[in-house]
Structure 1
Amino acid sequence: MGTLNDKTILVTGGTSGIGLATARRLIDEGAHVFVTGRTQARVDEAAATLGDGVTGVRSDITVLEDLDHLVEQIAARGNGLDGLFTNAGGGEFATLEDETPEHLADTLNRNVGGTVFTVQKVLPLLNPGASIVLAGSTAATRGVPAFGAYAASKAAVRSLGRTWAAELADRGIRVNTVVPGPTETPGLVELVPADQRQALLDEQAADVVQKRVGAPEEIAAAVAFLLSDSSSFMTGSEVFVDGGSNQV
């Protein structure tokens, strides 16, 4: 018996990295998982990899019409939602001197706007006792050079998690934020050219107490816990899965 038997859970940005690893873990725990991605090809590839227990839907969290279509697909299954992991988002390096209105708007729209409107759109589908897990970042509480827009967007997500935990408590809905440390995912290594990626991972690992970067499966385990009834007395929390990098 899995910890998520018969639950229906949505994972946005579930076609690679932490999202894909989380979808796999949730399926292993007995859930039916909806995964989204921005291209049909990546959604189809993820669905084929995950096998039974998954429904793939092409959806961009920055496009409200896509979110409406996603809600229609979930509603058509008839079981509502027992959990949501707002994993989709991302960012690119830009120093204060190099910041542009376009880059700032895109970063905030993906990480803040996309999170806000994903949660808003699925609210009618959330069953009593549902759990929402927001994707935070250690960058939100650290001064990471050239990552100001991204860090600010993730600080906003953390603040929203606290607010929504209070707003949704009457419905029995819990809201927590998972905060991954540096994790070897496409989203991290693709920040730099291919010939600089190992150096980036080595640099990230040097700042971690355990002297290594995390694996997506390690973050997925924490998300699965927060989505399960095992975390039933947790809401408004920020759970760091960072190898100690922001703790020691």
Structure 2
Amino acid sequence: MSSRFENQVAVVTGGSTGIGLAIARALLAEGAKRVYVTGRSARSLDTAVTSLGERAVAVTSDVAQLPDLDRLKAAIERNGDQIDALFANAGIAGNNALGATSEADYLNIFDINVKGVFFTVQTLLPLLKDGASVVLTSSIVNNKGMENLSLYTATKAAVRSFARSWANDLKGRRIRVNALSPGFTHTPILTTGLKMDEQQISQFKEYAAGVVPAGYVAQPDEIASSALFLASNDARYVNGIDLPVDGGYAQI
């Protein structure tokens, strides 16, 4: 394992499970001095941080709630830290049927996936070092039109757009902003968000084996490695892009 993040400070929102947890684990393995990990569930967050070790700091935070983001900022300031890498990863997924979608459904997914990403970055912006990196978790659906996913798809298109705009907005501070777009990945969202049971997950994997050129559904650590690349000095001339990590699914 390399030491690309030696003595660096990172923040990973939505880091108690799935891709976020894999990113936090990889950062620590590559030498990060401290990784702040957020999540809405104190129980799952505490479990995650216990597994990560003493250099991980748990901050219970709902990115859709601005006071929670202020508490996250305050926690980082109390330690005297500035941020080298920010992973705005927190997000939810869910199906919605056009014609039967409630306002509450709309607000819930947009508040977390769009408002949450926007205000995470804006709130923590004063703590970002000049030359820092921001990685936004989008999705390969950001340029597709999958059935019964119109809300989720629109939110992830907005996240991708943020990467373009903010790369320009923050060029004066040499802060790079990129979007990461995972493809089919086995995370808890399959059950908690998309409400799949074991049989449906099995069928999903069989489907992926046929349509994804790589032939399988990714594990979170395979997505995390690309997230770390974008945040690292290896990608110092990469800015404003959307990096699909999808086994080739959206590329053919």
TM-score, reference length from structure 2: 0.95
Question: What is the CA distance between 1:3 and its match in structure 2?
Answer: 0.4
**Counterpart for residue 245 of structure 1:** 249
Any conservation in 1 of the 2:63–2:117 contact (CA below 8 Å)? yes
**AA of the residue aligned to 1:92:** G
Any conservation in 2 of the 1:184–1:201 contact (CA below 8 Å)? no
Question: What is the CA distance between 1:207 and its match in structure 2?
Answer: 2.5
Q: 1:94 aligns with which of 66, 71, 96?
A: 96
Q: 1:187 to 1:193 in 2, by over 3 A?
A: closer
Is the aligned partner of 1:214 residue 2:215?
no
TM-score, reference length from structure 1: 0.97
Give the whole-Å Cα distance in 2 for the aligned partners of 1:76 and 1:111. 27
Give the whole-Å Cα distance in 2 for the aligned partners of 1:144 and 1:152. 11
**Counterpart for residue 79 of structure 2:** 77
Give the whole-Å Cα distance in 1 for the aligned partners of 2:86 and 2:16. 15
Report matched runs for 1:2-151 at 5 Å: 2-31=3-32, 32-151=34-153
Q: 1:178 aligns with which of 177, 180, 186?
A: 180
Question: What is the CA distance between 1:226 and its match in structure 2?
Answer: 1.0
Any conservation in 2 of the 1:131–1:175 contact (CA below 8 Å)? yes
Supply the RMSD in Å over aligned alpha carbons: 1.2
Q: 2:195 aligns with which of 192, 195, 201?
A: 192
Query: Aligned residue pairs: how many?
Result: 248
Give the whole-Å Cα distance in 1 for the aligned partners of 2:137 and 2:184. 13
**AA of the residue aligned to 1:203:** Y
Question: What is the CA distance between 1:141 and its match in structure 2?
Answer: 1.2
